[in-house]
Amino acid sequence: MKRRNFVKSLALASAGTPILLNEMKIQSIGKKLFDVAGFAEDRVLVIIRLNGGNDGINSVIPIDQYANMTIQRSNVMIPQASALGLTTEVGLHPKMGGMRNMYNDGKLGIIQNVGYPEQNRSHFRSMDIWSSGLIDNPPSTGWLGRQMDVDFPNYPDAYPNTQYPDPFAISMGYETSSTCQGLMANFSHAVNNPFDIYNLASSGVLDDGTYYGSHMDYLATLIDQANAFGAQINDAANAGSTLSTMYDAGNPLAVQLQYVAQMISGGLQSKVYVLNINGFDTHDSQVSAVDSTEGTHAELMKRLSDAIEAFQDDLMLLNLEHKVMGMTFSEFGRQIASNASLGTDHGDAAPLFLFGSCLDIDIMGSNPVIGNTVVNQAGIPMQYDFRDIYASILKDWFGVSSGEVQTLFEHSVTFYPLVTPCGVGINEEDLAKEGALIYPNPATSNATVRFTAGNEWVKIDIFDINSKHIAEVYDGTLSQGRHDIPMKLKGLPAGQYIVQIKKDSGIINEKLSKMK
Amino acid sequence: MPDQNPGNGVSLSMTPYTGPWTKVEAGHLLRRTMFGPTNQQMLDAVTNGMAATVTALLQIPAIAVPVAFHPDETIAAFGSSWVDSVYPTDPVAAQTVETARLMSLGGWAMDRINSEQLTIAEKMCLFWQNHFAANASLDSRATYDYHMLIRTHALGNFRQFVKDMTINPNMLLFLNGATNTLYSPNENYARELLELFTIGKGPQIGPGDYTNYKEEDVAAAAKIMTGFLVDGLRSDTVTDVTAVFTPILHDTSTKTLSSHFGGATVPDNGANEYADFIDIIFQQDEVANFICRKLYRYFVNYDLTANVESTVIAEMANTLIASNYEVLPVLQELLSSEHFYDISVRGALIKGPLDMLYSMLNGTESAPAFDLATDYEMQLNMYWLADTMGQAYASPPSVAGWPAYYQEPSFSKLWVNATHIKTRFDVSSWMSIYGGIPVNGNNWELDALTFLDNLSDPSVAATVIDDICDVFTPKDVDAVQKLILKAILTNSLPDFEWTLQYNDYLANLGNTAFSDPVKLRVQLVLARLFQMPEFHTI
């Protein structure tokens, strides 16, 4: 029957019947993923889906394989001179300057040849597999949704509540991500623009004592309740800020990542953000006929790389780098040999990117081996199982025990050290040195910012939430120790501001609320 | 409960309404009697006037039978009727066929509601479905017959309806009439006949005395109706399910009723004895009051104040009795009355799930038109969505029907809660902007372009918004809300830009480069409107 599929695709918050219960064999009761004490508490995972099947060979270029690549895919191949070398053997697509920079800064990780056994080359089926992390069982739950079901068994009925006021995950766009599909509902809240959730201006009609009025009032109350997540997201977006100037407003992925930064910095407690970029199904015109470094795929790589670089830059400026890591995935790579239409067809394994400042890898795995003869329909064999990547992230980034992680998957999980114990073990005093205190806050006409300096140059500025420079507070050298710098706020419109303290030793951003 | 007193300034008159007859009043009539009118139907109703529109509504059109569409239907050929087909001999195979037939019934029922015909038929069928609230039996042929019985009597004689329903095989199975015998009387049907179907249960005024009947009447009624069996269930040879009177199982004693029925006696009359008893029940005028209250709550307002009881209900009951329990004259009077058009009752109900779904679909003239099986599947999806939101057609939660129609004090508020409202939003967003219901590679989404083209003046943005609000909301939408909707339609451009865009589309019909942007704007307006509380009232 079609019911389940339809209801699932609708991602109804209240899919009425527990139709899938008997299909779920790998449930477990364990420690809460997002309830772990300490370091993992406020960590965020950003997932970017490369929809359509990304050509891994032209993304992460095996420089040592050029001789045979010429045999296999000369019409789409990136000229060796154009590849952006990371090592002598591995290069990036020439449009991926941003991610090359991140690699050089230790903020980009590449895992080679990620796939799964007996690769399915249907977009739909393979995306289901990647989203669910299930191969043998029906993909009725997402790999993240499954863990969230363990943690929050009464979702969505009992949520939001005071302990969990925010959605557990955000899907950027209009669709909820199937990675977050739980048994009864999708754990993600679809957000196209966090400043505009549902955008339900309240109706002019209030309860005027008529039957109609009483119902309007009743419905409006329900709508408010249904929109509780929307209001939280709205509030976070308004409270948050974004500081990077690298976002390109013409790059949809960059716009969405900027929204994500805005929400995270605004204090939204969502643990997962899923984004999507379409267009990777490059059967034809993957590259321009006159220049293989241009074309559809080049544009996609540029968008991806530029957007991630801007996002990482923003996280650094916002002092949030230690809280956020990212991952890309695509339903499959493409075949080794190109076709005659300047394109490539559905293949098997492909590289997967991780990004963030807490990575423990640079390049994991070896270049794919390109043979010297064209084998019809050959793809890149898998070296790493994507489920093990998921499992390792759950364990090291979210702190789920290996035993508990194992219960989420069908296969015997192998863990890889992908993430450092970033931010763990820093003592409170060190942390205090990296912070600042603004008092009073909210403030009316005057406020003071307190922080420590180490006999160094310090510049203090106030920005508005659109990163527009509002005022300079201080510019000079300060002695070792604690300092209290007064700020005059008279004349500033009421609203949220960022006080930025730039020191030789780093940048601190603190929020300031100005009242009338 | 609203603190309004309907006695103050509210017309309780049942004399024919003679006030303004505009889209507002016509829309009220059509929304209450149909599952969502179109703009054109409202305009036609204005042109034709109230009386002619009411008369036109009060007809029950003929309909097609449900047909086989599912591969599990192995007896009836694809596309042909299964309602007179046998079942496979093997019980497992028969169950598989039954599942296919149930799905056919579900899709068929929804398809009837998804109709643009000007008729009260489907709202009446749902009313009776809620009144004689039986679930499907294990033989879809009997379930189908039960529905057709409802349809046949939808506007007909209530007394005859009750008689026919009493020996309807589906009802005999549902309330154990089929196991009610001389040797083992079963009171289930007898009790509901009195309590829910005819005279109603009044306050308990003594031991076993419910004002209108007593426990002893229930016992007597059970004996009166003994002896009916159901034949042909899941039969591999018989093509119909029938009620069979079996004299040896009938209690031939003379039954005596309580003082509430004047101590009437019911002597043995074999297969017709149940009808004798129903005639006795119908001698009590409370039967008319009981059913008229239900009609009032369904079509007008849930709030039965003392004023309404003593005026509107009393007048309706008089009409029903005077017409020998014909239902049509009562509805004719009610739907033409001053009270029905009083501003106080407009928007007084919250839409049930079926009304919410199909007002959205019918209002935009959207119906699936793919292949037979796909269309059935799509309607079935609607069936299940309504189920998810609390209203599975032909499957009321209890023999009392859906609580939203009877449960004080909340009544229609019971249709929505914070989860249901979210589901309503999700479904309406899906149907309007996110691509519609996908089945077999086809998508059923709201037909925004046809809808737009059929509005009064699609090229004028403000008129488009006025029309859309007229179609989907019961009262005037706030001016600020209308401006917001118009800004969505015009993408916040000056109004003339919409006119240019629409005219460009008209000049380039068939060119999606022109039609898609127009379509999208209308879809966005609809999606927004469906998330406004106004849309969810009726």
CA-based nearest distance B81→chain A, Å: 21
How far is the C-alpha of B485 from the C-alpha of B479, rounded, in Å?
10
Cβ neighbours of residue B70 under 8 Å, at least 6 residues apart?
B99, B100, B103, B104, B373, B376
Partners of residue B439 in chain A, C-beta under 8 Å: 2, 6
How far is the C-alpha of B339 from the C-alpha of B300, rounded, in Å?
9
CA angle (B282 as vertex; B278, B287 as ends), nearest 5? 120
Pairing between β-strand B442-444 and β-strand A44-50 as defined by DSSP bridges = unpaired
Q: Which of B365, B503, B334 has the alpha carbon at shortest distance from B38?
A: B365
How far is the C-alpha of B331 from the C-alpha of B150, rounded, in Å?
16
Cross-strand pairs, A449: A438, A485
How far is the C-alpha of A177 from the C-alpha of A186, rounded, in Å?
8
What single-letter amino acid sits at A122?
A: S
pLDDT tens per residue across span A271-311: 999 999 988 989 889 999 999 999 999 999 999 999 999 99
How far is the C-alpha of B538 from the C-alpha of B527, rounded, in Å?
18
Q: Which of A200, A314, A305, A202 has the alpha carbon at shortest distance from A266?
A: A314
What pLDDT, on a 0 to 100 scale, did the predictor assign at position B1?
A: 38
**CB–CB contact A222 B350 (8 Å):** no
C-alpha torsion angle, residues B12, B17, B20, B22 (rounded to 10): 110
Cβ neighbours of residue A27 under 8 Å, at least 6 residues apart?
A146, A149, A150, A407
Partners of residue B536 in chain A, C-beta under 8 Å: 219
How far is the C-alpha of A165 from the C-alpha of A233, rounded, in Å?
10
Taking CA atoms, what residue in A is nearest to B386? A16
Average pLDDT over residues A44-71: 96
**CB–CB contact B388 A16 (8 Å):** yes
**CB–CB contact B388 A14 (8 Å):** yes
**Which chain A residues in 162-201 lie under 8 Å from chain B, judged by CB atoms?**
174-175, 198-201
CA-based nearest distance A172→chain B, Å: 15
The more confident residue out of A229 and A280 is: A280
CA-based nearest distance A266→chain B, Å: 25
C-beta separation of A327 from A383 below 8 A: no
Task: Find which of B31, B346, B388 to mutate to test the A interface (most A CBs within 10 Å of its CB).
Answer: B388
CA-based nearest distance B381→chain A, Å: 6
What pLDDT, on a 0 to 100 scale, did the predictor assign at position A254?
A: 98
Taking CA atoms, what residue in A is nearest to B382? A3
Which strand (E) or helix (H) includes residue A327?
Answer: strand A324-330
Average pLDDT, chain A: 83
pLDDT tens per residue across span A135-152: 988 777 899 999 998 888
Q: Which of A478, A475, A476 has the alpha carbon at shortest distance from A452?
A: A478
Partners of residue A210 in chain B, C-beta under 8 Å: 2, 4, 343-344, 347-348
Domain residue extents for chain B: 23-59+286-345, 160-277, 353-536
**CB–CB contact B537 A219 (8 Å):** yes
What pLDDT, on a 0 to 100 scale, did the predictor assign at position A442?
A: 77
**One-letter-per-residue 3-state SS of B130-176:** HHCCCCCCCCHHHHHHHHHHHHHCCCCEHHHHHHHHHCCHHHHHHCC
Query: Which of A1, A203, A213 has the CB atom closest to B532's CB atom?
Result: A203
**pLDDT at residue A244 is higher than 60:** yes
Partners of residue B395 in chain A, C-beta under 8 Å: none
Alpha helix segments (H runs only) across B153-272: 158-166, 169-174, 188-192, 215-224
What the block records as the tokens of A492 is 């500033």
Domain residue extents for chain A: 3-406, 429-514
What pLDDT, on a 0 to 100 scale, did the predictor assign at position A27?
A: 26
**CB–CB contact B347 A200 (8 Å):** no
Q: What is the CA A12 to chain-centroid distance, rounded? A: 23
Partners of residue B71 in chain A, C-beta under 8 Å: none
How far is the C-alpha of B426 from the C-alpha of A10, rounded, in Å?
7
What pLDDT, on a 0 to 100 scale, did the predictor assign at position A432?
A: 47
Partners of residue A214 in chain B, C-beta under 8 Å: 1-2
Compute the count of residue pairs across chains A and B with CB atoms less than 8 Å apart.
Answer: 128
What pLDDT, on a 0 to 100 scale, did the predictor assign at position B8?
A: 54
**CB–CB contact A14 B347 (8 Å):** no
**Length of chain A counted residue by residue:** 516
What pLDDT, on a 0 to 100 scale, did the predictor assign at position A193?
A: 81
Average pLDDT over residues A193-222: 71
pLDDT tens per residue across span A462-514: 988 888 888 899 998 888 877 888 888 888 888 888 888 888 877 888 888 88
C-beta separation of A14 from A156 below 8 A: yes
What pLDDT, on a 0 to 100 scale, did the predictor assign at position A479?
A: 84
**CB–CB contact B412 A215 (8 Å):** yes
**CB–CB contact B349 A2 (8 Å):** no
Question: Residue A468, Cβ neighbours under 10 Å: how many?
Answer: 8
Query: Which of B422, B479, B534 has the CB atom closest to A13's CB atom?
Result: B422
Taking CA atoms, what residue in A is nearest to B3? A209
C-beta separation of A355 from A312 below 8 A: yes
| Backbone torsions φ then ψ of A370, nearest 5 degrees | -100, 120
Cross-strand pairs, A462: A471, A499
What pLDDT, on a 0 to 100 scale, did the predictor assign at position A421?
A: 67
Query: Which of B388, B412, B421 has the CB atom closest to A12's CB atom?
Result: B388
Which strand (E) or helix (H) includes residue A132?
Answer: helix A123-132
How far is the C-alpha of B52 from the C-alpha of B444, rounded, in Å?
34
How far is the C-alpha of A60 from the C-alpha of A111, rounded, in Å?
10
Query: Does the predicted interface ipTM exceed a cut of 0.95?
Result: no
**CB–CB contact B484 A156 (8 Å):** no
Measured between CB atoms, does A14 come within 8 Å of chain B?
yes
CATH superfamily of A429-514: Macroglobulin (MG2) domain (2.60.40.1930)
Residues in chain B predicted with pLDDT less than 70, given as ranges, are: 1-8
How far is the C-alpha of B30 from the C-alpha of B26, rounded, in Å?
6
Query: Which of A16, A175, A212 has the CB atom closest to B347's CB atom?
Result: A212
What pLDDT, on a 0 to 100 scale, did the predictor assign at position B405?
A: 94
Cβ neighbours of residue A268 under 8 Å, at least 6 residues apart?
A166, A170, A232, A233, A236, A237, A240
**In CATH, A3-406 is 3.40.720:** yes
How far is the C-alpha of B266 from the C-alpha of B252, rounded, in Å?
10
Q: Which of B178, B274, B180 has the alpha carbon at shortest distance from B229?
A: B178
Average pLDDT over residues A309-317: 97
Query: Which of A2, A199, A219 has the CB atom closest to B381's CB atom?
Result: A2
**CB–CB contact B531 A200 (8 Å):** yes
What single-letter amino acid sits at A494?
A: A
**CB–CB contact B384 A9 (8 Å):** no
